[in-house]
Amino acid sequence: MNSFRFNGQTGFYKGKVRDVYSISNKYLVMFASDRISAFDVILPRPIPFKGQVLNQIAAYMLNATTDICPNWLITVPVPNVSIGKKCTPFQIELVVRGNLTGHAWRTYSSGKRILCGATMPDGMKENDFFPSPVITPSTKASEGHDEDISPQEIISNGLASAGEWETLSEYALQLFERGKQIAAKQGLILVDTKYEFGKLGDEIVLMDEIHTPDSSRYFYADGFEERQQKGERQKQLSKEFVREWLIENNFMGKEGQTVPAMSNEWIDTISKRYIELYEKIIGDKFVPIKLSDDETEKLINVELEKLA
């Protein structure tokens, strides 16, 4: 993706999968690129329409939760770009878990019953529902891996005040409940997800993408109970299939390992899976749109002029 020049541009940041332009130190222009990462590594080839899929799911979910809490999004000028308010981020992610899956299950199966200050009851099987959703926060590492942290440590380390933490955790649980309701209408279970928040003045604001397959895990509701009773793997909707392919090809992001070659067929498969994710989560047909860099720049500048 080319670097663009936007009216009032004051900064640029290239993340693993997103390119972010600061405008007048008040707004962000956030490109969801077609880059794909796994195990904290950017894979060598982009996935057609992945950025559009994620950006449009995120915008749909942000617009569906504005009654719960304010969020950063202002407009989506082109399918893979969002313009929003620049906030001061909390250096934590709020991971909400409805089921005993992934990192929580690995912790549980090692014999531990407390994760990030949250207690997990005895007698649970992998993928079982928690009695009620739990929040297992992590730090936001600028480099390397995020680390588990408890609410007490968040407050004592000054990452959020006690009052802020109360608001953050209330928002996160309400957002998760809404996400579960939206998923249920589509025959899905929202298993776990993460939320990021920032401050705009004194106001706490929801940032970033929410309820996308890159930040969340979904199970198919149909047959869930039968699979649990038989001890079978749950059918899931997430980018887990990419991680599984990498593991099968002996890559987990460790030193000395090489990313396996990605064939055109495999790239096409991943792209189709992302489009399927969109259609299943949103319940609408996906319409792929490709714009030139000139068209993209022009449409974004039109929106930025309205904000100036």
Residue 56 phi/psi, 5° resolution? Answer: -75, -35
Whole-angstrom distance, CA of residue 217 vs CA of residue 240 = 8
77, two tokens: 């000028």
pLDDT tens digits for 186-231? 999 999 999 999 999 999 999 999 999 889 999 999 999 999 999 9
pLDDT tens digits for 126-181? 999 999 999 999 998 766 667 999 999 999 999 999 999 999 999 999 999 999 99
pLDDT tens digits for 87-108? 999 999 999 999 999 999 999 9
Residue 221 per-residue DSSP state? S
Q: Percent of the chain, pLDDT > 70?
A: 98
Q: Which residues contact 84 (CB under 8 A, 6 or more apart)?
A: 27, 28, 30, 71, 72, 73, 74, 207
Global pTM reads: 0.93
Element at 152 (helix H, strand E): helix 151-156
Q: Mean pLDDT of all residues in the chain?
A: 95
Query: What pLDDT does residue 1 have?
Result: 46
Find the radius of gyration of the CA atoms of the chain.
20
Q: Which domains does the chain have, with CATH numbers?
A: 9-88+239-307 (3.30.200.20), 89-237 (3.30.470.20)
